[in-house]
Amino acid sequence: MKRFAWLLLFATPAIAGDIPLSERRSGFDFMTAETQAMQRDDTLNPGMLWVLEGEALWRQSSQAGNKPCASCHGEGSMQGVAARYPAYDEKTQQPIDLAGRINRCRSENQGQAIYAPESRPLLSLSAYIGQQSRGLVVAPPEDPRLTPFIERGKAAFERRIGQLNFSCAQCHDQNWGQKLGGSPIPQGHANGYPIYRLEWQGLGSLQRRLRNCMIGVRAEPHAFGAPELVELELYLAQRAKGMAVEIPAVRP
Ligand code: HEC
Ligand code: HEC
């Protein structure tokens, strides 16, 4: 991402902090009409292929003959679930994101090896479950046990990182709407993940996106599944609270 080198041109204003709901704009709003049309129309949205694949997986029993997801959960039972993840996990007393929760069922309830990060079945199931929340609003759980983790995510969002020494907030709270090497900087909301990204030519998770931004400022990205990434996901859910879920979104 060499375009991140343009950073030095920013005149960073002093204001910091959350963007009020009335000024919040989805990444969708910063896209061209053509890309917006692709997201809006299910027959054009490539992410729908993963949703359909996820639906098939949901009903399928594994090779070992284990129970399909649908046998315990039924059909269309995941409405609203993606809108309230990450959630608090009683068992580990840590936050868990949706991909982590899917893998929990995969190992504990299906007796199967967990899916690798960014693997096709994990993304497909995430897209299938996520799509069932489309049009609902991001509604993170009001669970005080999550508070310290959300605070850590917020602190990470505001911390300068990488050789370019930039924080997430400097781009997404303070300079959104500005151009970085020709493309607009969005507010960085996480209401559409997993997304179909044209640059990736495929579906990718929020963690993949976050790692990309870290690499963009030449920081060492956290490994997939790292607690630091889940904490950022938690904070982003707070930051996007009340915005419409767009899964599967399309992004340039
Ligand atoms: C130098 C500016 C910059 C920094 C710093 C930065 N980002 Fe980004 N971010 C971008 C740009 C630009 C995009 C849009 C995609 C692109 O062009 O790469 C983006 C996209 C995103 C998105 C996707 C939004 C959508 O609509 O899908 C999220 C979420 C995000 N960033 C979160 C973060 C987090 C968390 C951090 C800190 C770890 C961070 N970003 C650091 C510039 C930045
Ligand atoms: C043997 C039964 C069983 C199977 C098979 C199963 N699950 Fe589950 N799943 C559960 C139970 C029990 C829970 C916990 C319910 C609760 O927390 O209320 C759960 C919870 C979940 C949740 C969290 C729901 C929420 O409201 O927070 C998700 C997501 C999920 N399962 C996805 C899957 C997927 C995907 C598969 C297939 C790969 C699957 N499950 C297979 C029994 C099962």
Q: Which amino acid is at 125?
A: L
CA of 213 to the centre of ligand 1 (A): 5
Q: Given a cut of 60, is residue 6 above it in pLDDT?
A: no
- Looking at the predicted structure, is the pLDDT value of residue 147 above 80? yes
Task: Output Rg (C-alpha) for the chain, integer angstroms.
Answer: 18
Q: Whose CA is nearest to atom 9 of ligand 2?
A: 105
For ligand 1, whether the C-beta of 219 sits within 6 Å is no
Residue 9 pLDDT > 70, yes or no? no
- Preceding peptide of 140 cis, ω within 30°: no
Average pLDDT, the chain: 93
Q: Are 153 and 207 in contact (CB under 8 A)?
A: no
User: How high is the pLDDT of residue 18?
Assistant: 74
Q: How far apart are CA 135 and CA 149, in angstroms?
A: 27
- Fold equal for 2-8+20-42+142-251 and 47-131: yes
Asked whether the predicted pLDDT for residue 15 surpasses 60, the reply is no
Task: Look at residue 13 in the predicted model and tell me its pLDDT.
Answer: 43
Ligand nearest to the backbone CA of 181 = 1
Query: Is any atom of ligand 1 closer than 6 Å to the C-beta of 248?
Result: no
Q: Is the CB of 190 under 6 A from ligand 1?
A: yes
* Residue nearest atom 5 in ligand 2 by C-alpha distance: 69
Instruction: Give the whole-angstrom CA distance, residue 119 versus residue 133.
Output: 22
pLDDT of residue 64: 66
Q: 32: CA distance to ligand 1 center in Å? A: 18
Q: What's the CATH code, domain 47-131?
A: 1.10.760.10
**Which CATH number fits the domain 2-8+20-42+142-251, given the four candidates 1.10.760.10, 3.40.50.1220, 3.40.190.10, 3.40.50.720?**
1.10.760.10
**Nearest protein Cα to ligand 2, atom 25:** 81
Placement of tokens 């041109």 in the chain:
9
Whether 70 lines ligand 2, by a CB cut-off of 6 Å, is: no
Mean pLDDT value of segment 9-30: 73
pTM, whole model, 2 decimals? 0.94
Q: How many Å lie between the centroid of ligand 1 and the Cα of residue 176?
A: 10
Residue 236 pLDDT greater than 60, yes or no: yes
Q: What is the largest CA-CA distance in the chain?
A: 60
Q: Map out the domains of the chain as residue ranges.
A: 2-8+20-42+142-251, 47-131
- Catalytic residues, by residue number, are 213
Q: Summarize the confidence of residues 166-181 as an average pLDDT.
A: 95
AA identity, residue 92 = T
- Ligand 2 pocket, 134 CB below 6 A? no
Residue 67 near ligand 2, beta carbon < 6 Å: yes
> Does residue 179 have a pLDDT over 70?
yes
pLDDT in tens, 93-145: 999 999 999 999 999 999 899 999 999 999 999 999 999 999 999 999 999 99
d(CA 66, CA 11): 57
**pLDDT given at position 12:** 45
Q: How far apart are CA 137 and CA 240, in angstroms?
A: 9
Give the helix/strand (H/E) hosting 180: strand 179-180
